[in-house]
Amino acid sequence: MMENSEDTVIAHNGIRLPSFMYGTAWKKEATTQLVVTAVQAGFRAIDTANQLIHYEEARVGEALGLLAEQGVSREGLFVQTKFTPLNGQDHRTPYDPRAAVSVQVEQSFESSLQHLRTDYVDSYVLHGPYGRRGLGPEDWEVWAAFERLYEAGKVKMIGISNVTSEQLALLCERAKVKPMVVQNRCYAAFGWDKGVREICQAQDIVYQGFSLLTANREVSIDPDIRAMAGRYGMGLAQLIFRFAMQIGMLPLTGTTNLQHMAEDLACRNFTLTDPDLREIESIGNR
């Protein structure tokens, strides 16, 4: 079974990763300073992608360089990036769009190493399957390339994002190396992605939930949830992040506010009761 503590989680391959992750999407030119600030605040896991539409991966690398100068070693951080297929890129692709998919993965990965100023990646994630249903030839070609990177020791974990329960079950069933992480947008209205989370729990895969706040604004205005946060003496964001951790998620936050970073990390100082966990988990069924 996947082991959890307040500070770390462990996937089925024995790799330990921090229990809270800082996301760098949509940070643009502020990325460098925000990553430095997040690490100074206490975050030790950073999420990015080699996709210039939404991420500035090279600026994450700049931040890692600055942090190293401050005494924060690369080995002390968990860095996760992604291979984004052509349908998720604009004209600024980090690979030859005419090349075979396996070559695109290799080129994108080497580009990521250069951007991040590192010789390995802690977690490498397929940004999303090529289709909405099932897994096609391109998905399997990408995954085979991921498996080669993993077996060569260039990445410590491999995973997939924006995946359905059907797709994840298929990948776990047929892959030579099953995913260690899944990263999905998590909606309360759909049971907080219950179907995918159940597969992750059964397969000892780390489930990373993103957009926990922005995708669930109806939760933050629910009077019962607001009252619950008041009883615990915590903010609404803290409540949702703590809930996520207690039901087995690794949450992502992308806050740009230093005080909110500290508050988010402090959610680990609280413990929600089982009835309160059930109330939050079932809020989408009202």
Q: What is the pLDDT along the chain (286 residues), one digit of tens a residue?
A: 344 557 999 999 999 999 999 999 999 999 999 999 999 999 999 999 999 999 999 999 999 999 999 999 999 999 999 999 999 999 999 999 999 999 999 999 999 999 999 999 999 999 999 999 999 999 999 999 999 999 999 999 999 999 999 999 999 999 999 999 999 999 999 999 999 999 999 999 999 999 999 999 999 899 999 999 999 999 999 999 999 999 999 999 999 999 999 999 999 999 999 999 999 999 877 6
CA dihedral sign of residues 161, 166, 169, 174: negative
pLDDT score for 2? 44
For residue 85, give every residue at least 6 positions away whose Cβ sits within 8 Å of its Cβ, in sequence order, or none: 101, 126, 127, 128, 130, 138, 142
- Closest C-alpha to 17, from 77, 58, 65: 77
Instruction: List domains and CATH numbers for the chain.
Output: 19-185 (3.20.20.100)
Residue 18 main-chain phi, psi, to 5 deg: -60, 150
User: And the tokens for 180?
Assistant: 């260690």
Neighbours of 176 (CB within 10 A): 9
CA dihedral sign of residues 194, 251, 226, 246: positive
Distance in angstroms (rounded) separating the CA atoms of residues 279 and 272: 11
Distance in angstroms (rounded) separating the CA atoms of residues 172 and 164: 12
pLDDT score for 1? 38
Cα distances from 199 to residues 10, 61, 245, in angstroms, run: 16, 33, 17
Q: Angle, to 10 degrees, between the axis of helix 165-174 and the axis of helix 194-203?
A: 20
**194-200 long-range CB contacts below 8 Å, 24 or more apart?**
195/164, 195/165, 196/163, 196/164, 196/165, 196/168, 197/247, 197/248, 197/249, 198/165, 199/165, 199/168, 199/169, 199/172, 200/168, 200/248
Neighbours of 226 (CB within 10 A): 13
Residue 197 main-chain phi, psi, to 5 deg: -60, -35
Q: Are 27 and 56 in contact (CB under 8 A)?
A: yes
- Closest C-alpha to 260, from 17, 22, 9, 81: 22
pLDDT score for 284? 73
- Helix H or strand E encompassing 185: strand 181-185
- Relative to beta strand 249-253, strand 16-18 is unpaired
